[in-house]
Structure formats: C-alpha cells, structure tokens
C-alpha cells in the first residue's frame, strides 16, 4: 500500500523524544459490547511503517490503554503517553517511546475498555456509548471537525488525516435478546445475531467512517435506488432515522436522488461505490458516501461526498476549503462575485501549525467570502471551470490548500491570486517593507539585480529531475513518466521575512532565445509554494511535472520560472534578463558518439525593439575546441552574412538503408541508422522530414574560433526557425563534456537579447 509521508508533519522533538510520523497500513479491531455489565472491551491492532528517519512514531487514541504490545513484546501504557505538540488545546498526540528504524514495518496492539472518548466537546452531535432498557445499546462515532481528536482516534488508534489505511472492525453485542441494527458506510458482513464485520477500504482516513449501532426497534429504515447520469451507476440509498424522528424518509430519499444527480452533473462520477448511507438525526457531518444530518443540511452534506470526502483535505488546517467551497457553490449557488478589499484585516483560514487539529470555524463565512473574491478576480465562469477541472484531477486524493492556490495560478496566470491567498487564507499581514525574491540568471549572478547582461538562458536556480530525489543538477526530461521541477528561491532583503511565495514553472516545447512575462510564462505547467523564507536565505521548492505534460523524447523544451509573493510580482512585458523574479533554462543535454551530430531546432525573435534590427548569432565553442563543426540550417541564406560557406543539407543513402533500424540513446533521443551519411539526433526522424530529405535547408557553417558570429536582420515581431548543427569530430575522446552557448546580440548596442545552451556528453 502506498504511503503519504509527503503529506505528514515534520519530525519534532517533544519532551525529549524525536517524534516522527508513521503511516498506518491497516487497523484491525474487535469490540465486545456486554449488555449484562453495560461495558465494552476493545482490542485494536495497527500495522504501520516508519518513514525516512529513525525515531519515535506518533499516533492518537482517546481511550485509557490497559495493556499493549509492540511487535509482539509488551510495552507499558506509560510508553504510549499523550504529549503536547503545540497544536492547541486538546490537540496532543501519543508517542511510542521506542526509537524505531526508518523504513520498517511494525505492529502495535492495544487493549482497553471502550468508553466515552477523552476528547473535547464540539459540534452538535456528540460521541455516545450508552445503554437503555432492554438492554439496548446506543453507540455512535459522533465525528466533528470543529474540535480536536474527534475522528476515529476517539475510539481506535488512528493517525492524523494525511494517512490512508484499510479498517476492519469486528463488533459483537452479547447478553441481550434485542436485535440491533448497524448503520454504516462500510461493507458489512453479518457473522451472527448482533455480530458484524465491517470493512472500510484502503483509501479511508480517520474522518471517513460512519458508524451507529441502535436497537432495531428504535430506528426506521427505507431504501431506494437511483441511476446517476454521468457514471451510469445505480446507487442504493440507505436512509435511517429514529422512530421518533420527524424526517419523512420518502421525501428525503427523493431529495438525495436529486442532489446526487446534480453533483454528478457538476463534478463527475460518484466515488464511493454503489451506496449512499444517511442517518437523519441532528446536526450535519459528512463521511465517505454518507452523512449524519438534519434535513436542512442534507444538500450540504451530500455535496461533501465530492468536496471533502471524494477529494479530501490533507490536514486539519486544510479542512477550510471543503467547507468554504461547499458553502459558496452548494449552499449559495456559486454565483456571487465581490471584489477583495485588501485594506481589510487579514483572515487566517489555513493555519501554518502542522499539529493543529480543527477546521477554522470561519470557513463557512470568511471562506465563502474568499471564493466570492476569487470569482470577482478570475471571472465567475472561469472560477467554476477551474474548480471543476481541479476536482477532476484531484479526486480520490488528499489536497493541501497550496495545491489549490498553485493550480489556480497556473491556469489563470493572475499573480494577484497569490496576494489573496496570502492575506485572506493564510492570514498574513502585508510585509513591513517591500520584499525582493529572486532567481539567479547565471552562476556568476551574485547580486540579484533586475538587469543582467550576462548568460541568462541557463539559470542554475531552476532544474529538472527524473525522480523526486532532491538532486541539484539538471537532467534531460524522461518521456512517459513523471518528472520534477526544482527552484532555488533567494530572499534579497536583509530585513524582510517572506511569509509565503509561489514559483510557477512553464515549459515551452521548443528552444527559443527570448521569452516575455507573462504570456510565455502562463498558463503554467506546475507551481510550488514556499513559506517563511528568512532575510538573505534561500529555499528549494519542487513541483511534479505530470507525465502527460512531458514532451516526447528528442524534444528540446525550455523551462521558464517566475516567483511571486505579496508586493513583489514580475513586471509585465519584461524579459528574463530584465527581472530577477524570472528565470529560464534553455539547456539541451544529449549523448553523442564521435562522428555523430545533433540538429537542434530553435526560435530566434525580435520582441525587444520597435524597429528592424541587425543581430549577431554568436556561438561560443568549448575552450580548447575552436574547430568543432558548427553550422546553421535555414532555407534562405540571403538573410545571413559572415558565415564561412553554405551547402545544401542532404541525406545520402546506402544500399541496405531500408533494412536498418534506429538506435535508441539513453538521453531519450535516437540515432538514425546507417542509411544516413551521418548518424543524426533530432526531434523527429529525418526520414519523415521532407524539407531535409528534399534538400530544402541550406547549411551555413560558422568559422573556426571559440567565439564566432553569423549576422542577420529581423523586423519587429519577426521570428526565424533555425536548426543548430553540431558535430562531434572523430578525435574527441569519450567522457568529454562539450558546452556550446548560442547568443543573440543586438549589433547596435552590443546588448545580449537571447540565448540557448547545448551540452554534449561524448560517449563510446
């Protein structure tokens, strides 16, 4: 079963113990309710794994532990004590007082008398275990997100809500002849009279599980079915109430059918199997495919099977977004648009305390107001479309607040959105002085000024990795898998701590010399957030590059990045070298053997000047290699001057050309087989490129030298599609790295206005 350590709180020293997160894989518990003694005994076992750090694992249980074993060996209940993690009143967690090795699997079993949980009151429907004449049991979980420790941990050992695990409960009621009913969203197996096995799926978290046990003669049940319009699935509706309850089950079932149908039409397939369970009593609380609710909150709680339990909050502070969006879209029709007032006081809906265990009560009011502001900022139709699409991408996942912010920024390109989250979600005040975040343009860029006249097309502060491995060097993207973007963000200020920032990454699927903010930077491919960047410090953030967005092998993509924080946005119409908030990496990395060459397509533009200009396209060869063959390919040689000579670029064949296969390379490209006069790496097979086969391109050779130019004019807004050809001579030894920079320079001013880079690894 996969783990969610990437969503877990950080390790923390608590009372002298290094407390580390665990990831529960399975909870198995058995409970015997004894009607003769009005008591209940429980034995619970969790199987869990540890993360990447040795330490004392953390969990919670709000029952008094009688005895326990860890990996089959006795452990004192005192070594499973509750500790204060600084998450607020009653938000403590239990720590296993044993240092367990990283990356290992363990079992913890606890035995206890099941009683009312030692959790604070909160919400309208309290947890209950009580007995009435008969004897009759009254038992309900009574979850709420308005008080800490009121989820599954109130009754059984569990984790914070970042963790997903399967749950098996064996529940038996003895010493009573009264038949009881179990009301639940679990898969139920009857094991005998008043004896049930409940199974909750592996996607469950501590807030997923609905459970009520009532004497059958005290409750009324009615069932029906509805076939939903998007999935086509037939859903069984199980509706329950107390026999004394006022709800009309037939009416409410029809309402549920309407709500489920509407929700599928708005947000896609129902995600909780083929059943929806609701117990009409008091209050309102959502579960995975179920609810306990009054009739007035039914629409709200049904919608939560999409927003809250179809896509779940990754932590308790993230719980604001599901209540806020449900209030805005479901309760209030999702149409209101009220612009933000940035002079209003900050509002904290999402606390930064990783150990906080309540949803902010203002999620329903200020959260609704926040989405009204976003509607005004982005346009109501856009906001509704973005949120529907976000749900489609994130369904069945655990979602942090910054995931929503990052997605909306990527789609909308509206940098003011970051200001809104800063002030009205995270609750941060305006910075005391203007912040100044920056990304290096070049390794020699030490000051972070906005204007940089050196190499800016290969920023050392942005790079790609093929895995989420924390590596610090650029790798060529691997097609067909997720890759990862990284950025190192620097705080230039000597006095301002930046509380919150976002880096947006975009990929242009071609190499180009000039890119302008914002049109080339947005819509973005991915984004990453950072918090609390101290003066003069730097921080590395990362974002997944989904495999569906990674271009095919042999492409020569350019990576762009922009960093945004409250009061420090990139300026519109600026190029990378004009703004320290912007960075690009126009670096192509390939492996070549001697006598092979690469054709690198790239785009040269004149976006800088208002009139026709003459540019030099300078090539900087590697030091010590002034004679490596370098040339440009283009149909029209008359545009260019001061090249050594020009030839028609042709591909010649050998007799057995049609029977040779291309050779795959580790870099993700390929070498066209021996039917070509030279092996070639390109972004498409030359045999499928008519302009090359037909001699449509002319090859213009650069003169020898480590710094040489070919000159050409460009009108305002014009662009050229060129191919850079670089050949590895036969005498270049293997394991040699050859770096080439191609620089666009305005001849009148000498100013660099663009560039790309090529790194060739010479292989055997």
Q: What is the mean pLDDT of residues 518-543?
A: 97
728-747 tens-digit pLDDT: 999 999 999 999 999 999 99
Q: 655 exposed, middle or buried (CB, 10 Å; 0-12, 13-18, 19+)?
A: exposed
Is the pLDDT at 265 greater than 60? The verdict is yes
Indicate the Cα dihedral angle 221, 263, 146, 61, nearest 10°.
Answer: 70
Is the pLDDT at 672 greater than 80? The verdict is no
Residue 1 pLDDT class (50, 70, 90 cuts): low
More confident of the two residues 237 and 449 = 237
CA distance 366 to 498: 24
Say how many Å lie between the first and final Cα of the chain, rounded: 42
Indicate the Cα dihedral angle 713, 717, 723, 726, nearest 10°.
Answer: 70
pLDDT for res 230: 97
560-575 tens-digit pLDDT: 999 999 999 999 999 9
- With beta carbons less than 8 A apart as the criterion, state whether 98 and 108 touch: no
CA distance 4 to 23: 7
* Number of neighbours of residue 609 by Cβ within 10 angstroms: 17
Query: Could you please report the per-residue DSSP string of 8-52?
Result: SPPPEEETTEEEEEEEEEEEEEEEEEETTTTEEEEEEEEEEEE-S
CA distance 322 to 215: 34
Pairing assessment for the beta strands 17-34 and 166-174 based on DSSP bridges = parallel
Is the pLDDT at 634 greater than 90? The verdict is yes
pLDDT for res 693: 36
Q: What is the mean pLDDT of residues 150-175?
A: 98
13-27 tens-digit pLDDT: 999 999 999 999 999
Phi, psi at residue 378, to the nearest 5°? -100, -15
pLDDT for res 405: 98
Q: Which helix (H) or strand (E) holds 717?
A: none
Q: Is the dihedral of CA 369, 360, 6, 29 positive or negative?
A: negative
Q: Indicate left, alpha or beta for 33 from its phi (over 0: left) and psi (-120 to 50: alpha).
A: beta
Q: pTM of the entire structure?
A: 0.90
Is the pLDDT at 93 greater than 70? The verdict is yes
pLDDT for res 511: 84
CA distance 10 to 470: 17
3-state secondary structure of 154: helix
Tokens of 152: 């599954």
Is the pLDDT at 659 greater than 80? The verdict is no
pLDDT for res 609: 87
Contacts (Cβ under 8 Å, ≥6 apart) of 7: 162, 314, 315, 398, 400
Q: What is the mean pLDDT of residues 598-621?
A: 92
Q: Which of 81-85, 212-216, 588-592 has the lowest mean pLDDT?
A: 588-592
Q: Which of 120-124, 222-226, 677-681 has the lowest mean pLDDT?
A: 677-681
Mean predicted lDDT score pLDDT of the chain: 92
Q: What is the mean pLDDT of residues 262-282?
A: 97
pLDDT for res 651: 54
Q: What is the mean pLDDT of residues 603-617?
A: 91
Find the largest Cα–Cα distance for the chain: 103
403-416 tens-digit pLDDT: 999 999 999 999 99
Of 24, 29, 4, 205, the closest CA to residue 106 belongs to 24
Phi, psi at residue 458, to the nearest 5°? -145, 65
- With beta carbons less than 8 A apart as the criterion, state whether 465 and 517 touch: no
CA distance 142 to 62: 14
Residue 557 pLDDT class (50, 70, 90 cuts): confident
pLDDT for res 488: 98
Helix crossing, 249-267 with 380-394: angle to 10°? Answer: 100
31-75 tens-digit pLDDT: 999 999 999 999 999 999 999 999 999 999 999 999 999 999 999
């Amino acid at each position: 079963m996969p783990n969610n350590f990437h969503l877990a709180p950080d390790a923390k020293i608590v009372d002298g113990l290094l407390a580390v997160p665990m990831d529960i894989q399975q909870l198995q518990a058995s409970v015997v309710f004894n009607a003769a003694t009005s008591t209940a005994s429980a034995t619970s076992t969790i199987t869990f794994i540890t993360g990447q750090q040795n330490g004392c694992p953390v969990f919670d249980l709000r029952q008094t532990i009688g005895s326990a074993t860890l990996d089959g060996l006795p452990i004192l209940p005192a070594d499973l004590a509750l500790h204060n993690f600084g998450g607020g009143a009653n938000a403590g967690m239990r720590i296993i007082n044993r240092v367990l090795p990283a990356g290992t699997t363990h079992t913890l079993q606890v035995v206890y008398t099941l009683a009312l949980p030692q959790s604070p009151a909160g919400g309208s429907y309290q947890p209950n275990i009580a007995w009435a004449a008969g004897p009759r049991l009254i038992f309900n979980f009574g979850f709420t997100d308005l008080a800490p420790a009121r989820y599954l941990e109130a009754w059984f050992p569990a984790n914070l809500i970042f963790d997903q695990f399967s749950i098996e409960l064996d529940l038996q009621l003895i010493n009573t002849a009264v038949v009881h009913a179990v009301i639940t969203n679990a898969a139920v197996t009857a094991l005998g009279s008043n004896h049930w096995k409940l199974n909750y799926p592996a996607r469950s978290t501590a807030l997923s599980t609905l459970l009520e046990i009532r004497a059958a003669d005290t409750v009324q049940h009615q069932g029906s079915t509805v076939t939903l319009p998007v999935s086509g699935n037939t859903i069984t509706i199980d509706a329950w109430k107390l026999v004394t309850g006022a709800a009309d089950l037939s009416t409410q079932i029809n309402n549920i059918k309407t709500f489920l149908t509407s929700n599928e039409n708005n947000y896609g397939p129902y995600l909780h199997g083929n059943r929806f369970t609701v117990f009409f009593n008091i209050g309102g609380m959502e579960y995975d495919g179920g609810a306990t609710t009054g009739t007035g909150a039914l629409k709200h709680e049904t919608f939560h099977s999409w927003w809250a339990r179809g896509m779940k909050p990754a932590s308790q502070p993230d719980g604001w977004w599901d209540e806020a969006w449900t209030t805005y879209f479901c309760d209030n029709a999702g149409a209101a648009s009220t612009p933000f007032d940035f002079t209003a006081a900050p509002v904290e809906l999402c606390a930064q305390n990783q150990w906080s265990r309540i949803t902010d009560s203002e999620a329903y009011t200020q959260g609704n107001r926040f989405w009204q502001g976003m509607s005004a900022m982005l346009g109501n139709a856009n906001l509704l479309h973005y949120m529907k699409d976000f749900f489609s991408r994130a369904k069945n996942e655990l979602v942090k607040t910054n995931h929503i912010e990052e997605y909306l920024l990527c789609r909308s390109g509206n940098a003011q959105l970051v200001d809104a989250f800063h002030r009205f979600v995270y609750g941060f005040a305006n910075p005391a002085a203007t912040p100044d975040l920056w990304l290096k343009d070049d390794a020699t860029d030490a000051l972070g000024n906005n204007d940089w006249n050196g190499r800016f097309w290969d920023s050392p502060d942005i790079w790609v990795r093929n895995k989420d491995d924390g590596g610090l060097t650029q790798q060529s993207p691997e097609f067909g898998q997720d890759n990862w973007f990284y950025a190192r963000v620097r705080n230039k200020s000597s006095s301002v701590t930046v509380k919150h920032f976002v880096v947006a990454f975009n990929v242009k699927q071609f190499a180009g010399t000039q890119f302008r903010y914002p049109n080339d930077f947005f819509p973005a491919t991915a984004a990453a957030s950072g918090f609390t960047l101290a003066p003069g410090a730097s921080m590395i953030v990362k974002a997944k590059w989904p495999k569906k967005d990674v271009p095919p092998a042999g492409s020569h993509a350019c990576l762009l990045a922009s960093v945004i924080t409250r009061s420090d946005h990139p300026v519109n119409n600026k190029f990378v070298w004009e703004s320290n908030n912007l960075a690009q990496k126009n670096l192509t990395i390939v492996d070549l053997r001697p006598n092979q060459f690469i054709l690198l397509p790239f785009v040269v533009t004149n976006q800088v000047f208002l009139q026709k200009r003459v540019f030099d396209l300078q090539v900087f060869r590697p030091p010590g290699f002034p004679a490596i063959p370098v040339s440009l390919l283009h149909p029209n040689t008359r545009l260019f001057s001061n090249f050594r000579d020009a030839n028609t670029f042709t591909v010649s064949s050998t007799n057995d050309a049609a029977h040779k296969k291309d050779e795959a390379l580790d870099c993700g490209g390929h070498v066209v087989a021996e039917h070509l006069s030279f092996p070639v790496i390109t972004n498409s097979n030359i045999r499928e490129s008519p302009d090359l086969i037909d001699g449509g391109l002319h090859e213009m050779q650069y003169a020898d030298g480590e710094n040489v130019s070919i000159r050409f004019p460009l009108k305002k807004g014009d662009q050229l599609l060129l191919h850079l050809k670089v050949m590895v001579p036969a005498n270049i030894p293997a394991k040699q790295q050859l770096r080439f920079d191609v620089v666009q320079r305005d001849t009148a001013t000498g100013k660099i206005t663009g560039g790309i880079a090529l790194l060739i690894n010479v292989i055997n």
